[in-house]
Amino acid sequence: MSNDNQNIENQTTSNPNSTALPEKKPSPFLTEQLPQGTAQGQQQTLAQNSTASNQNIPHYNLPRGANTGNVGETTHFGFKTINTEEKAQKVAEVFHSVASKYDLMNDLMSLGIHRLWKRYAIHLSGVRRGQQVLDIAGGTGDLAKVFSREVGETGHVVLSDINESMLNVGRDRLLDAGCTNVDFVLANAETLEPFADNSFDLVTISFGLRNVTDKDAALQAMFRVLKPGGRLLILEFSKPVFEPFSKLYDLYSFTALPLMGKIIANDSESYRYLAESIRMHPDQRTLKGMMENAGFKNCDYHNLTGGIVAVHRGFKL
């Protein structure tokens, strides 16, 4: 692998050697009705608020996705119900649109608190010198940058994302910071096709999992690429534990976020999706169950800022 822009590995749908994972039943952990749309694992007909593919929107060439049967014909994109195959394109549109303003918006929206959440996740990672680390959906590279320093010259970090615009921002940033032990790889979290089995000591995904269509497949792929003894960390928005706090948080998410998106990035829709996708993401206990179902042991989670965010941890033993 190379740091060269032109050599970012683009895994397309044309890999004839890839074998689809075996068919399995929908996730048993996602049977509760979520606010709107179709939760992963629930078969539903396309709702009226479905969005048809818009011909004016570019079609992005995405790394190959999973086709496991974990997700029904339809799924959710925020609160909308869409055809499952449309979701990756729609998520791609969001992150191509926000890539250049992503870091600024992150600081503004969270008042800088995302840095503390990430610091706590890094603390739980137990990362050490000489280790091999994969940061999935790593975007602009906040975690990978710290891991690069922590693993040192004898270690190695892969910053991976499905989205070339996000990955380009991350690559430029990390190369500017002198991170010479980092590779940049375009990959879909659902398959992690570029990566061999049992190759990483630590796998992380920070604020990425909720965007993934087939989360069960992604968790299985993470398990596959981890070495025995390796650790998975998932930092993600979750369910606030205190109900009155939830109401305030909803008010902020559904009014302030799209407004900030409009003013700073001229894109309120992407930030509305952000708020909606957070509400549609599995809660703490559900996600822990999904990790266990994928084979992870000793799974636990830590709520941060009253459960607005949680760090889930699991081990491949």
Ligand X SMILES: C[S@@+](CC[C@H](N)C(=O)[O-])C[C@H]1O[C@@H](n2cnc3c(N)ncnc32)[C@H](O)[C@@H]1O
Q: Which lies closer to ligand X via its Cβ, residue 68 or residue 206?
A: 206
Q: Which amino acid is residue 2, in one-letter code?
A: S
User: At closest approach, how far in Å is the CB of 227 from ligand X?
Assistant: 21
Give the per-residue SS3 of 152-198: CCCCEEEEEECCHHHHHHHHHHHHHCCCCCEEEEECCCCCCCCCCCC
H or E element at residue 12: none
Strand order in the sheet with 200-206: 9-10, 182-186, 156-161, 132-136, 200-206, 226-237, 309-315, 297-304
Minimum CB distance to ligand X, residue 243 (Å) = 26
* Cβ closest to ligand X, residue 33 vs residue 91: 91
CB nearer ligand X, residue 31 or residue 166: 166
140 is in an annotated binding site: yes
CB atoms within 10 A of CB 187: 24
- Positions touching ligand X (CB under 6 A) are 91, 95, 136-140, 142, 161-163, 166, 188-190, 206-208, 211-212
CB 133 within 8 A of CB 157: yes
β-partners of residue 134 are 158, 203
Taking the least distance from each CB to ligand X, the nearer of 74 and 163 is 163
Q: Determine the 3-state secondary structure of 302 from DSSP.
A: strand
Type of residue found at 113 = I
In the complex, minimum distance from the CB of residue 317 to ligand X, in angstroms, rounded to a whole number: 25
Closer residue to ligand X (CB): 48 or 117:
117
* Least distance (Å) between residue 245 CB and ligand X: 22
Extract the tokens encoding 186.
């375009």
Is 161 labelled a binding residue?
A: yes
Cβ distance to ligand X smaller for residue 38 or 106: 106
Which residue, among 70, 30, 82, 120, has the nearest Cα to 313 in the 3D structure?
120
Length of the chain: 317
Q: Is 196 annotated as a binding residue?
A: no
Q: Minimal CA–CA distance to 212: which of 169, 162, 168, 253? A: 162
Q: Position of tokens 């050490």?
A: 128
3-state secondary structure 41-68: CCCCCCCCCCCCCCCCCCCCCCCCCCCC
CB 280 within 8 A of CB 210: yes
State in angstroms the smallest separation of the CB of 279 from ligand X.
15
* Shortest Å, Cβ 194 to ligand X: 12
Q: In whole angstroms, how close is the CB of 198 to ligand X at the nearest point?
A: 20
Q: Pick the closer one to ligand X by CB: 84 or 188.
A: 188
Known binding-site residue numbers for S-adenosyl-L-methionine: 140, 161, 188-189, 206
Residue positions forming the annotated binding site: 140, 161, 188-189, 206
